Amino acid sequence: MTVLATALSDFLHAAVEPQVQVDAIGIGAIYALMAVGIGLVFGVLRLVNFAYGQLVMAGAFALAYASDQDWPVWLGIVLCFVVVITLTLAMERVVFRPLRGKPAATMLVATFAVAFLLQAVALLIDQTDDTLGEPAASLAKLNVPWTILGTDVRKITVVAIVTAAVCLAGLVLILSRTTVGLHMRAAAMDFETARLLGVRADRVIGSAVLLSGILAATVAVMLTVQQPLVTSTFALRETIVVLAGVVLGGMNRLFSATLGGFAIGYASGLLGGALPTAQSQYLPSILFGLVIVILLVRPGGLFTRGPGPVERV
Amino acid sequence: MSSSTLVVSDLVVRYGAVPAVHGISFEVAPGEIVGLIGPNGAGKSSTLNAITGLVGPFSGSVRLGERDLTGRAPEVVARSGIALVPEGRRIFGELTVDENLRLGLAGRRTQRGVAEDLERVLELFPVVAESRARSAGVLSGGQQQQLAIARALVAAPEVLLLDEPSLGLSPAITDTVFDALATIRDSGLAVLLVEQRAQRTVAIADRTLVLANGELRLTLTPDDAGDTERMIHAYLS
Amino acid sequence: MLTIVAPITLVAATAVVGTFFERSTEIYFINALIAVAIVVALYVFVGSTGVLSFGHISFVAVGAWTAGVLSVPVAEKPATMPFLFDFLAETTVGNVWSLVLAALAGGVFALLAGLPLMRLSGLTAGIATFAVLEITNNVLRYYEKVGPGLNVFSSVPETTDLQQAAIGAIAAIVVAFAYQVSRFGRQLRAARDDAPAARAVGISVYRQRLGAFTLSGALAGLAGGLYVHYLPISVDAVYLDLTFITLAMLVIGGMTSLWGAVVGALAVSGLDSLLAEAENGAAGIDLPSGSRIVVVGALMAVVLIVRPSGLTGGRELNLGRLLRGSPGRRGAA
Ligand SMILES: Nc1ncnc2c1ncn2[C@@H]1O[C@H](COP(=O)(O)OP(=O)(O)OP(=O)(O)O)[C@@H](O)[C@H]1O
Ligand SMILES: [Mg+2]
């Protein structure tokens, strides 16, 4: 009993360290962006995109390529956005569109397949130069620490938090102030009625997918700074965790899904930063154990009110 | 604005193998209300669904003036000038009244004259005008029904389809809604009114079609309003 | 009757054909038969409940760990698994027992995991089963008191030959068939198609699902036992890739029939083997390694889009339909 109490108190002490807190918020910010990207598409298509991480991975490969070609950083970032957005739109056209209206289970398994396919393609590309993984070295300088009030904060953590805040604010503006934003919200609530009123399905879906692609590219830049060695499984772990977070928060609302993404990122940052090494290797177990417990208590989502998800797998 | 006639010919609707509408034909011209009444399950909503593109017709055609709208997607039909006030209103309860109205604009063919149209519609439904900033979900049933009609009208349609607009409304509100329909007709729209309240429909409509088991059985005129029930009963039994 | 005879015949035929090849090719057949065992296990749950499970490979993993740890000779355990619990370090069981215990471990684990999970449905259930996979993988990867951790399972007797793999696959098929024609299996299928109606006539969907999950976990455990006796596997062999490929097999074959599960497992394994040969430069073509997943992933996506009910249409083999559908009959009619 005392052992447990000491361990808990050690954990809590470590967890309140500003250092740990800042890092956890940084991870939460990136996960929140991924959650929005997944949630936007779910809103209009009722499709959980398992392949979201592979979009991020494609962006990371673009950055590594640019770095390898000694392109300036900004040009690499442009390439990253072009590649990710193109791939996202292609995915919508080739996979999502024919799947429209199919059962949720079919869509989930299909994007699962696409995820593996893209990962395998990336592996093939990766191996053409006989190395495993490509370094995106030119971005690494963003990973250096700043000391603010005695706390070492990596530049990228600040960038991530600020970027996430800006992206989320921008998204809120788009959703609440623009016509296409209104159409997207309406489509997420009741697609059929929205169409009966003249809201164009293709345009609404296209916009949601485009926004989710932009977010994936943004995430790709920030993750690549933190993990400059780009392999075919890049962002895979993150996606699995974010998916759990999104379902945990509540898929039905973009807001709750985003909070869910943030919460699971924050929790994993906290656990990773504050647990002693011997235990931190069991971080996934603790995290997913928590996920199961929370899903049992609140199957409809942690941050939602009312009944659970509408879809049925 | 040019107005055209809605022409439905030999419409057949099926859900899988189950037939719901067996080849009906009718027209709704500008400046007239055509009523469509019949018992539950007669195929009234199915007829509207086929017009709006929610279900593909099994055969037959739907035209608006020169345009063939048979089997087109709902948004295409809406943008061609056919607006629907759906069964059960289907208001976006989490959006504000104003946002619901803005959604109605999605069906417009031109963005010119939005302000004028909006003003005219709000004049017709003062309750809606008073609650523009409120969440649509908190409105009463009658208010929501008026919002649903207003939302359809801001699209500046040529044809207005209504699916049981008086369902669940008090007699007083029903009066308001029916009065508004008369005004809408007089402004030159073609109105197709699906209703359960036979007598009131027959009284307001220029013609009323009686549908049973997916077939048109009878056409009534306002002169029949006095003994609608008797006529329908005599004919259908 | 054909429902059970056809899959067994197909599996037996695969095994018999396999005997004509040398060891280097024979392994593809053994692989395919183990795949049948896993996919049939998965089918017992997914096919009868309609709920997707990303967690079944956990039960394969637990089965593999059980059989593997228990069958390494005591003398060789300290070398590869120095941190084992004493009772594991001091015990060794024979081939058959290790498989039985693997099935038992898979079943018990599925039962424990299912107790909470089977209360969930839909997407939530899918993600929760994924969580089980993550936890299992994480624990087996680092907890060296129950296995080799990050190392491969060396020194496990390689007893899974064509014959054993075929017997294992057929056993799985027989159990799956017996279950689906039993009262429980039929009730669960009724509940899959119309849960409220099933509840109305007093079927507890929760208990039925839990039963199916447990049975399917036991079959998955058995398959894991066969797997570890076939190859020196590591924890990565029973993780995401295997989850993907077995789900692909089930989906491509058709999720709602036993015939679909078996056909899917064999068809995809066959294709996979051909591609593997091609990757090794056989048959004149030279595919880069990794092309297999590209092809299988694309195939799975195409099947889902074009024919979501799978190659078999998700139906059992039916001679009547086969004959009616044949060109000869159609010409005569
Ligand atoms: N989506 C559907 N799938 C299958 N059958 C349907 C569907 N919608 C309607 N039907 C059937 O088609 C027939 C006509 O239904 P419809 O909704 O058009 O009737 P209605 O006249 O609008 O009735 P109500 O007055 O109840 O609204 C009914 O028998 C109904 O059961
Ligand atoms: Mg109706």
Asked if residue A104 is part of any domain, the answer here is: yes
Q: Please, which pLDDT band fits residue A309 given cuts at 50, 70 and 90?
A: very low
- Cite the beta strand spans of chain A per DSSP E: 134-135, 145-148, 151-154, 229-230
pLDDT at C283 over 90: no
The pLDDT mean for chain B works out to: 90
Pick the range with the lowest mean pLDDT from B77-86, C87-96, C269-278: C87-96
What DSSP state is assigned to residue B135? B
Ligand nearest to the CA of B17: 1
Type of residue at C170: I
Report the pLDDT averaged over residues A114-121: 90
Q: Which residues contact A224 (CB under 8 A, 6 or more apart)?
A: A59, A60, A63, A64, A136, A139, A230
Angle at B17 between CA B14 and CA B22, to 5 degrees: 40
Statement: residue A198 has pLDDT above 60 = yes
pLDDT at site C289: 67
Q: What is the pLDDT confidence band of residue B3, given thresholds at 50, 70 and 90?
A: confident
When pLDDT is cut at 50, 70 and 90, the band that residue C154 belongs to is: confident
Let me know: does C126 contact C52? Beta carbons within 8 Å. yes
- Rounded mean pLDDT of A124-135? 77
Q: Find the mean pLDDT for residues C264-286.
A: 80
Query: How many CB pairs lie under 8 A apart between chains A and B?
Result: 62
Nearest to A190 among B75, B92, B108 (CB): B92
Quick: pLDDT tens for A130-147.
676 777 777 777 777 777
Nearest CB partner across the interface for C122, out of A243, A296, A313: A313
Report the share of chain A in percent with pLDDT over 90: 50
Range of the domain at A21: 2-297
What is residue B235's predicted lDDT score, i.e. its pLDDT?
A: 65
Contact yes or no for C300 and A109 at CB 8 A: yes
Q: Does A133 touch chain C (CB under 8 A)?
A: no
**Of A250-254, B24-28, B57-61, C161-165, where does the model show the most confidence?**
B24-28
Answer whether residue A167 is part of any domain. Answer: yes
Is the per-residue pLDDT at A263 higher than 80?
yes
pLDDT for position C331: 33
Distance of CA B211 to the CA centre of its chain: 16
Residue A308 lies in a domain: no
Residues with Cβ within 8 Å of B210's Cβ and at least 6 positions away in sequence, in order, are: B37, B38, B216, B217, B218, B219, B220, B232, B235, B236
Q: What is the pLDDT of residue A313?
A: 32
Beta-bridged to residue B210, according to DSSP, are B37, B218
Q: Residue A148: pLDDT above 80? A: no
* C-alpha distance from A182 to closest chain B C-alpha (Å): 7
Does a structural domain hold residue A310? no
Query: How many angstroms separate the alpha carbon of residue B165 from the centre of ligand 2?
Result: 11
Treating both helix axes as pointing N-terminal to C-terminal, what angle do C240-253 and A104-127 enclose, rounded to 10 degrees?
Answer: 130
| Angstrom distances, CA of residue A185 to CA of A174, A180, A247, C44 | 10, 9, 19, 40
Q: What is the rounded average pLDDT of the residues C170-178?
A: 95
Residue from A47, A50, A109 whose CB has the most chain C CBs within 10 Å, to mutate: A109
**For residues A10-25, average pLDDT:** 83
Least confident range from A225-229, B198-202, C271-275, C306-310: namely C306-310
Give dist(CA C180, CA B30) in Å, integer: 61
**Whether C123 contacts A311, CB under 8 Å:** yes
Can you give the CATH number for the domain in which A141 is found? 1.10.3470
Question: Can you read off the two tokens belonging to residue C76?
Answer: 């060789």
Check residue C324 and give its pLDDT.
Answer: 59
- Quickly state the pLDDT bin for A159 (edges 50, 70, 90): confident
In chain C, % of residues over pLDDT 70? 92
| pLDDT category of residue C322 using cuts at 50, 70 and 90 | low
pLDDT band at C281 (very low <50, low <70, confident <90, very high): low
Residue A304 lies in a domain: no
Q: How remote is the CA of residue B195 from the centroid of ligand 2, in Å? A: 9
The mean of the pLDDT values for chain A is: 87
Query: Measured between alpha carbons, how far is B74 from C144 in angstroms, rounded to an integer?
Result: 60
Give residue C284's pLDDT: 59
Question: A18-66: per-residue pLDDT in tens?
Answer: 888 888 999 999 999 999 999 999 989 988 899 999 999 999 999 999 9
Q: Any chain A CB within 8 A of the CB of B104? A: yes
Residues C276, A125: Cα–Cα separation, whole Å? 18
Distances (CA, A) of A153 to A144, A161, B131, C291: 8, 12, 50, 42
Judge whether A65 lies within some domain: yes
In a domain, A312, yes or no: no
pLDDT band at A217 (very low <50, low <70, confident <90, very high): very high
Whether the per-residue pLDDT at A311 is higher than 60: the answer is no
Number of domains observed in the structure of chain A: 1
Does residue B57's CB lie within 6 angstroms of at least one atom of ligand 1?
Answer: no
Beta strand segments in chain C, E: none
Give mean pLDDT, residues A248-273: 90
The pLDDT value recorded for residue A4 is 78
B133: Cβ below 6 Å to ligand 1?
Answer: no
Confidence of residue B190 (pLDDT cuts 50, 70, 90): very high
3-class secondary-structure state, position B33: strand
3-state DSSP assignment of residue C72:
coil
Which pLDDT score is estimated for C3? 82
Residue A209 has pLDDT above 70, yes or no: yes
Mean pLDDT of C113-140: 90
Which two three-digit tokens encode residue A243? 């998916």
Based on its alpha-carbon atoms, the radius of gyration of chain C, rounded to whole angstroms, reads 20
pLDDT class of C141 with cuts at 50, 70, 90:
very high
Predicted pLDDT of residue A196: 95
Cβ–ligand 1 distance for B197 under 6 Å, the answer no
A182 and B54 within 8 Å at the Cβ level: the answer is no
pTM of the predicted model as reported, rounded to 2 decimal places: 0.89
In a domain? residue A23: yes
Determine the pLDDT at residue C77. Answer: 82
Please give the share of chain A, as a percent, with pLDDT higher than 70. Answer: 96
Name, in order, each residue with C-beta under 8 angstroms of A251's C-beta and a sequence gap of 6 or more.
Answer: A39, A42, A48, A257, A301, A309, A311, C123
Q: Do chains C and B touch (3 or more CB pairs under 8 A)?
A: no
> Average pLDDT in the A260-269 region?
93
- CA B185 to centroid of ligand 2, rounded, Å: 22
